[in-house]
Amino acid sequence: MDCQKINGCAIRLPSEDDKWLEFGNHCNKERVPFIIYADLKCILRKTESKEDTTSYVYQRHEALSIGYYVRCPCDDTILYYFGRDEGCIMWFAQQLNDLAHCVKNIVSANVPMETLSKQQWEAYCSAMRCHICEKLFALDDKRVRDHCLNCRYRGPTHSNCNLKIIKIHSIFRSYFTIYRAMMPIL
């Protein structure tokens, strides 16, 4: 009441039926399939001074080495690569290009899920909640088995929740398309 008198703004409170906030973007909980961490090391080279100007570029960065590693949340192996020479930037661009092709093949592959063990099947049949949105299953909900890129079973889920999670893989494919369009520039 006091705030309305002070600054003249209208305060709308939620109704009794709509008083709880709820997280809805469950596809944002999904980890990206691959992560690349890169580090570029440069040295500073002095440039020639120009006597007739008040300001000039007196140093320039020269790439000395670059290293990167690839991490996949589904796998604990870490692949580390590095290049140390004058052409390390072009080497890195080519490495990213090759890596993008490999990742695209992995993400685009339609590989069937592993067969569920007896315990997994019993857990799937008796599950009361979706493992993505964590809401209760209704009697008329279509229940599906969610799996990761390694085809390992992750849990029971609503069909709609599973389709929303797949959205992140299609975003990843579009990033690959953008990267391929940029390659001639590099």
Residue 170 has pLDDT above 70, yes or no: no
pLDDT at 39 over 90: yes
pLDDT digits (tens, 9 = 90+) for 92-147: 999 988 888 877 777 677 777 788 889 989 988 888 998 888 888 888 888 888 87
Q: 50-93, pLDDT tens digit by residue?
A: 666 666 777 888 899 999 988 876 666 677 888 998 889 999 99
184 or 95, higher pLDDT: 95
Closest CA to 41 of 61, 17, 15: 61
pLDDT of residue 165 exceeding 50, the answer is: yes
pLDDT over 80 (residue 175): no
> What does the block give as tokens for 86?
């004058």
Higher pLDDT residue, 40 or 152?
Answer: 40
Cα 114 to Cα 157: distance, rounded to the nearest angstrom: 16
DSSP string, 31-85: PPS-EEEEEEEEEEEE----TT-S----EEEEEEEEEEEEEETTEEEEEEEEE-S
0.75 exceeded by pTM? no
Alpha carbons 112 and 173: distance in angstroms, whole number: 20
Evaluate if residue 185 carries a pLDDT over 60.
no
